[in-house]
Amino acid sequence: MYKKKIPYSRQSISKLDIKEVVKTLKSDFLTSGPQVLKFEKEIQKYLKVKYAVCVNSATSALHISCMALGLRKKDEFWTSTNSFVASANCGEFCGAKLDLVDINLDDFNISLEQLEKKLINKKSPKIVIPVHLAGYPSDLKKISYLSKKHNFKIIEDASHAFGSEYMKSKIGSCKYSDIAVFSFHPVKIFTSGEGGVLVTNNKNYYEKALMLRNHGITRDKKRYYYKKNNSIYYEQQILGYNYRLSDLHAALGSSQLKKIHIFEKLRFKIKKRYDQKLNKLPLLFPKYKNTNFSNHLYIVLIDPTKTKKKRDSLIEFLNKKMITTSVHYIPIHKQPYYKKYNFLSKNFRNSNFYYNNAISLPIFPYLTTEKQNYIIKCIEKFFQK
Ligand SMILES: Cc1ncc(COP(=O)(O)O)c(C=O)c1O
């Protein structure tokens, strides 16, 4: 048994990462400066997208993405029942009304069948926010087709999906969406400590996001209301926020991005090993149709048709064995804050089934084979008990 708990995820920081942060610490800029610009350029190049705006979290990126797309009071926005609350909170910040769409049980992303049904039966929302759970891409081509037919915009919550591919392009190329958002929180694919980015091919959204990130201020002379030309002049034209990323965070993000191909390979190796070793147990596995995705999470469900053992007992059993697991996520419709929409009276059947039975097992690049074998053995023991 291990003395220190095995986390479900953790960052992988190298000596070089530390060197890069220290270098920035000794430089002229600590807040947004050359490192942020450099990091944004690297992200643009990697994703093959025109514009990137780095901010202090994916939550901030989602918020200003909603604002850049003009989400207001009385507008509606929709997202998947099964996500972190930030995918819903971003529209709430704008005073808009949330509705939720159930998931499918193949990949646990938004159900396109349910989405289409809802679009036929209800007035279209202004924005739909598909979430690429565990980094596995939602079917963006189909969502894009529906967006044209029913006139809504798309923000991809790609917080889990840096490096994932969809139809031979990186998630974040925005071929089938208006904006995509990534998180650089330490448990994600790579980290900047805290941080996030929104990417888009649309110049208007980009310029609006730049202003919203920094108090609604512009220093672009061409945009000024008043004709002032001295060098210290700037204008606040809209109400924005301080969502800036610091150069310290950007330096770490930039250094980490260089290793993404290594992180991807290591995660894939761990995923494959779980797949091979757990497949005789009474578990349900996602039916992913391809393997080119980030493997941010390793999710399995207890199969209630094959065992009477409960998911919660497995979580507690593993916890006693010093193994941290998680559930991604407690569905948004079960959160007390969202009681106001009366979601509990709706039948999100798949999401509820998932929530009762799913468990996320530890996966991160430097989870050792020895520790992974221990986790697998403990799960086997649980089912033998
Ligand atoms: C799906 C999803 N969306 C948004 C977020 C928010 O990310 P951040 O912590 O960078 O604000 C998270 C973070 O856990 C997430 O998992």
Judge if 251 and 265 occupy the same domain: no
Same domain, 66 and 143: yes
Query: What's the total number of domains in the chain?
Result: 2
Structural domain including 357 reads: 260-384
- The domain boundary residue, chosen from 195, 226, 257: 257
Q: Are 179 and 199 in contact (CB under 8 A)?
A: yes
Q: Which residue has the tokens 């450099």?
A: 38
319 and 227 in one domain?
Answer: no
Of 9, 55, 59, which is best to mutate to test ligand 1, by the most ligand atoms within 8 angstroms of its C-beta? 59
Shared domain for 285 and 157, answered yes or no, is no
Q: Which of 163, 160, 159, 190 is nearest to 14 (CA)?
A: 190
- Asked if residue 200 and residue 53 are part of one domain, the reply reads yes
Q: CATH number of the domain that 328 lies in?
A: 3.90.1150.10
- Residue 159 in contact with ligand 1 by CB distance below 6 A: yes
Give the Å distance between the CA of 86 and the centre of ligand 1: 6
Ligand 1 atom 8: residue of nearest CA: 58
Contact call for residues 231 and 11 (beta carbons, < 8 A): no
Q: Is residue 1 part of a domain?
A: no
Residue 203, classed as helix, strand or coil, is: helix
Q: Which residue, of 227, 257, 287, is where some domain finishes? A: 257
| 157 ligand 1 Cβ < 6 A | yes
Tracing tokens 């091919």 back to the chain, one arrives at: 201
Give the DSSP H/E element, type plus range, for residue 100.
strand 97-101
Q: How far is the CA of 14 from the centre of ligand 1 (A)?
A: 24
User: What distance, in Å, lies between the first and last C-alpha atoms of the chain?
Assistant: 18
User: How large is the angle between the packed helices 311-320 and 369-384, nearest 10 degrees?
Assistant: 130
| Interacting residues of 250 by C-beta distance below 8 A, sequence separation 6+ | 24, 32, 35, 36, 38, 39, 54, 192, 195
Flag whether 152 is in a domain.
yes
Shared domain for 194 and 304, answered yes or no, is no
Same domain flag for 239 and 264: no
Pick from 138, 159, 198 the residue to mutate for probing ligand 1's pocket: most ligand atoms within 8 Å of its CB. Answer: 159
CATH of the domain at 81: 3.40.640.10
- 7 found inside a domain: no
**Ligand 1, atom nearest to 187 Cα:** 14
299 shares a domain with 242: no
Same domain for 197 and 269?
A: no
Strands 179-183 and 196-200: antiparallel
Per-residue pLDDT of the chain (385 residues; tens, 9 = 90+): 899 999 999 999 999 999 999 999 999 999 999 999 999 999 999 999 999 999 999 999 999 999 999 999 999 999 999 999 999 999 999 999 999 999 999 999 999 999 999 999 999 999 999 999 999 999 999 999 999 999 999 999 999 999 999 999 999 999 999 999 999 999 999 999 999 999 999 999 999 999 999 999 999 998 999 977 788 999 999 999 999 999 999 999 999 999 999 999 999 999 999 999 999 999 999 999 998 999 999 999 999 999 999 999 999 999 999 999 999 999 999 999 999 999 988 989 999 999 999 999 999 999 999 999 999 999 999 999 7
